[in-house]
Amino acid sequence: MEGALKKVVAGDLRSLREIDPMHSVDTQTIQLIIIGIAALAVVMQAVVLIAILVALKKAATSMHADIQELRTSVTPLLLDSRDFITRVAPKIESTTNDVAEIVHTLREKTEALDTTVTEIMGRAQRQTTRVDGMVTDVLDSVDKVGDFVANAVSKPVRQISALVASARAVVQSLNETAPRSHAAPGPGDPDPSA
């Protein structure tokens, strides 16, 4: 039965090939189509690469022209700069030497000034100490004179005050011990001591 089935299937396949022309395409045809598509892709790729090459060549030519133009405009500037530096370099070196000499001189003068200021400050401090001592001595003397004058004036004044107080006390005591008149004062009589 298998053999009969194979015959029926083989016969049906032949009849299908006759009805469908696509089934009659064999492997060589498919390979030719694939090769044709690949060749077409390679041609298109070559066209794109040629277009890129042309664009790059134009860009390179344009860039080369720009570089030449830049070189033409920059070269004189560089030459002028070189000439300027050649002319100015000795002046700059001379100025640098002058500035270094000025700085050296200023440093020496500053050191001398520092020494002078230190010496003056020392003298001023010594004079201040001396004047302070003198003022202190004068103030001490004034204080001593003030004490002396106060003692010289106040001692006699105290003595006089003591004498006056003694005299008053003597006078009062004499007034109190003095004999009274023979009649005693009455209630309406004025007090003779007052």
For 78, the token pair is 């560089």
For 40, the token pair is 């077409």
17, 23 contact by CB (below 8 A)? yes
How far apart are alpha carbons 21 and 184 in whole angstroms?
A: 191
Q: Would you list the domain boundaries of the chain? A: 22-173
DSSP secondary structure of 51-73: HHHHHHHHHHHHHHHHHHHHHHH
Q: Pick out the chain residues at pLDDT < 70.
A: 1-25, 178-194
pLDDT tens for 36-78 read 999 999 999 999 999 999 999 999 999 999 999 988 988 888 8
Instruction: Output the average pLDDT for the chain.
Output: 82
Note the Cα 158 to chain centre separation in Å. Answer: 76
